[in-house]
Amino acid sequence: MKKKPIILGIESSCDETAASIIQENDQGIPIILSNIVSSQVNVHKEFGGVVPELAARSHIEKIDLITKKAINESNIKLEDIDAVAATAGPGLIVCLSVGLSFGKAMAYSLNKPFIAVNHLEGHALSPKLDSKLNYPYLLLLISGGHTQFLSVQGLGKYKRLGTTIDDAVGEAFDKTAKLIGIEFPGGPQIEVYAKKGNPNKYKLPKPIINRGGCNLSFAGLKTAVLKISKQVKNKQEKYDLAASFQKTIEEILVKKSKVAFKEFKNINKKNNNNIFVVAGGVAANKRIRETLKKLSDKEKFKAIFPPINLCSDNAAMIAVVGLEKYKEKTFSNLNFSPKPRWPLDEKANFLKGAGVKL
Ligand code: KG4
Ligand code: ZN
């Protein structure tokens, strides 16, 4: 029987150095043979955010060891690798360059195809690591740098339905955490605080909630949290603010998802299998998962989430895109440059900053 393809994935777009080996099984499901992620939390903690130069330096120090570990743990031989896939964008250019160059060098030395991967497509396809997922599907991508609704028509075929016009949801979580006094990276801790708080204590704004289709906005919410955080004195009030903030995010996502459901159905009229994928770092939030699952059940969409450990940045999701492209024989040249900005839907308008008309 013909050996199933084995892909090495490499990720270094922000502050995680990651490498993974995956192989497709007989049912066509990609199996993770190894998935190594080295986080740089300790490097950036004292600065309260990611410092690009330090992140790049840390990637340089670790990328070869992390890749070696991924290959060793997978129990494959180096020469068994059929293709090397590396993140080429979007992200911090100094960080992208490290993984991209390393991936190209690996492919060249092994004499195997090289595949440049869009990090966002990695998130988009991440549920394939444990579910069978057919096109088309509606995608809500919620990460630290992006918040978008997309209709995924096929591999590399995206139609953006809505996007944030200012901050990303993950960014709003991180900024709220900082204002409450939670150490970097605070986003995931908001969920922990919120469990102990009263979600109805503070009333927070929901910008553009009734207009702009399924476009979203979070900047006004951050300003409101800033004001309230100045009056917050004790731990319980911090819990209450975290709970109120998280509830507001849930309400915004529910309202906008309903609009996106309609738009998705409109452009996929012949499709009778409505699937709603929620992916990206914020999809690890259990409350948000539950709320969007409930909504999907009500609206007759099947909700699919990646496993929690595959929501945040990893290289297995990069390898999955590599596998799909390998099967289509879509390979990249070794002169592929890093792309700090690389939208999934290249035709969609840039919708950020002052003067945006919705
Ligand atoms: O996808 P990701 O790992 O990196 C990007 O591509 O941006 O997403 C990171 C973001 C951060 O903003 C982080 O605070 C947020 O995901 N995040 C969460 C949770 N876990 C990670 N936000 C809310 N609740 C969580 N449990
Ligand atoms: Zn990401």
For the stretch 310-329, pLDDT in tens is: 999 999 999 999 999 999 99
163 lines ligand 1 (CB under 6 A): no
Mean pLDDT score, 125-146: 95
Mean pLDDT score, 281-306: 98
Gap between the Cα atoms of 7 and 112, Å rounded: 10
Q: Is the dihedral of CA 120, 121, 122, 126 positive or negative?
A: positive
**Does residue 345 form part of some domain?**
no
If asked whether residues 178 and 293 sit together in one domain, one would say yes
Could you check whether the bond before residue 185 is cis, i.e. omega within 30 degrees of 0?
yes
46-72: pLDDT as tens digits: 888 888 999 999 999 999 999 999 999
Gap between the Cα atoms of 314 and 283, Å rounded: 14
Closest residue by CA, ligand 1 atom 10 = 144
If asked whether residues 182 and 40 sit together in one domain, one would say no
Q: Say how many Å lie between the CA of residue 142 and the centre of ligand 2.
A: 9
If asked whether residues 301 and 317 sit together in one domain, one would say no
What is the reported pLDDT for 1? 67
What CATH code is carried by the domain that includes residue 278?
3.30.420.40
If asked whether residues 123 and 204 sit together in one domain, one would say no
Angle between helix axes 219-229 and 169-180 (nearest 10 degrees) is: 10
Instruction: Give the total number of structural domains in the chain.
Output: 2
If asked whether residues 118 and 148 sit together in one domain, one would say no
166 lines ligand 1 (CB under 6 A): no
Q: How confident is the model at residue 351 (pLDDT cuts 50, 70, 90)?
A: confident
If asked whether residues 218 and 189 sit together in one domain, one would say yes
CB 88 within 8 A of CB 336: yes
If asked whether residues 227 and 123 sit together in one domain, one would say no
What is the reported pLDDT for 131? 84
Q: How confident is the model at residue 2 (pLDDT cuts 50, 70, 90)?
A: confident
- The percent of residues above 70 in pLDDT, for the chain, comes to 98
193-228: pLDDT as tens digits: 999 999 999 999 999 999 999 999 999 999 999 999
Whole-angstrom Cα Rg for the chain: 20
Q: Say how many Å lie between the CA of residue 213 and the centre of ligand 1.
A: 24
191 lines ligand 1 (CB under 6 A): yes
**Does residue 163 form part of some domain?**
yes
**Does residue 110 form part of some domain?**
yes
If asked whether residues 165 and 92 sit together in one domain, one would say no
Count the Cβ atoms, other than its own, within 10 Å of residue 178. 19
**Residue range of the domain that includes 202:** 137-305
Closest residue by CA, ligand 1 atom 19 = 188
Could you tell me the CA-to-CA distances from 98 to 8, 42, 67, 103, 160 in Å, in that order? Answer: 16, 20, 13, 9, 29
**Does residue 344 form part of some domain?**
no
The ligand with the least distance to the CA atom of 309 is 1
What is the reported pLDDT for 179? 95
73-121: pLDDT as tens digits: 999 999 999 999 999 999 999 999 999 999 999 999 999 999 999 999 9
If asked whether residues 252 and 284 sit together in one domain, one would say yes
If asked whether residues 158 and 240 sit together in one domain, one would say yes
If asked whether residues 146 and 120 sit together in one domain, one would say no
Gap between the Cα atoms of 268 and 271, Å rounded: 5
**Does residue 335 form part of some domain?**
no
Closest residue by CA, ligand 1 atom 8 = 281
314 closest CA partner among 74, 90, 16:
16
Average model confidence (pLDDT) across the chain:
95
Q: What 3-state class would DSSP assign to 137?
A: strand
**Does residue 35 form part of some domain?**
yes
If asked whether residues 101 and 223 sit together in one domain, one would say no
